[in-house]
Amino acid sequence: MVRTFAHLGGPGLLALSALDSSPLFIPFGNDLLFIALAARKHEMVVYYALMATVGSVLGCLVDDALSRKGGEKGLEKRLSPRRFASIKKRTKKSAAWALGFASLMPPPFPFTAIVAGAAALQYPRKKLVLVVSLARFGRFLMEGLLAIYLGRRLVLRFVGSPVTGCAVAGLIIVSLVGSILSIRGMAPKRNSASH
């Protein structure tokens, strides 16, 4: 999957980042692709960071639209009581810091849940986009500099190894299952008493 997006370069990175930040579940996909692309073409790091950031923000806007419409009650229905309480507490206390921190953290940190929580609790969309854009761009730039520092051969050897291939296949399976569960969780629950 990552190779397919890699052939597209920046637009592929934008698309994969958008999917990763949407309600779909694609752990590490955009990070692996970004690192591989940055390791191959050092001079394109800023461009790739911008494309990954734009894609991530587009995915967040999908989360925002779905969560803002459902509001706090919709979010409460989608999450376990413990997770809902945690996200509500973080978001109410300081949404900008929670969003910024979540944007910097790698998977499995619940980035999309924090975005959904901020939107459901009506955090202003413009501020959400600004915070996520700045933090994500910083994160991708740091990843790009790390890829340059580690060197192309080391990163490409890691990405091309059989172990990585098996890990990516496993991630694809986990992503599909996670995406199905995420989409099922967003669907309105049917009331069995309505018959």
- H-assigned helices in the chain: 2-8, 10-21, 29-40, 45-78, 81-104, 111-120, 125-150, 152-160, 162-186
pLDDT of residue 16: 79
Neighbours of 169 (CB within 10 A): 11
Cα distances (Å, whole numbers) of residue 135 to 39, 104, 115 = 21, 6, 13
**Side-chain-facing half-sphere of 137: CA atoms under 13 Å:** 12
pLDDT of residue 192: 42
- Taking alpha carbons only, the member of 16, 23, 1 closest to residue 140 is 16
Cβ-based burial of 14 (10 A; exposed 0-12, middle 13-18, buried ≥19)? buried
pLDDT of 155: 55
| Tokens standing for residue 104 | 């910097």
Tens-level pLDDT at each residue, the chain (195 residues): 556 666 666 788 888 788 777 766 666 567 777 887 888 888 888 999 999 999 999 999 998 988 888 888 877 777 778 877 877 777 777 888 889 998 888 777 778 888 888 888 889 999 999 999 999 999 999 888 887 877 655 555 655 556 555 555 554 555 445 545 554 554 444 444 444
- Write down the pLDDT at residue 126: 95
Q: Is the pTM of this model over 0.75?
A: no
Query: How many residues are listed for the chain in this entry?
Result: 195
Question: Within 10 Å of residue 7's Cβ, how many Cβ atoms?
Answer: 7
CA distances from 63 to 36, 113, 144, 186 (A): 27, 9, 26, 10
Residue ranges per structural domain of the chain: 2-186
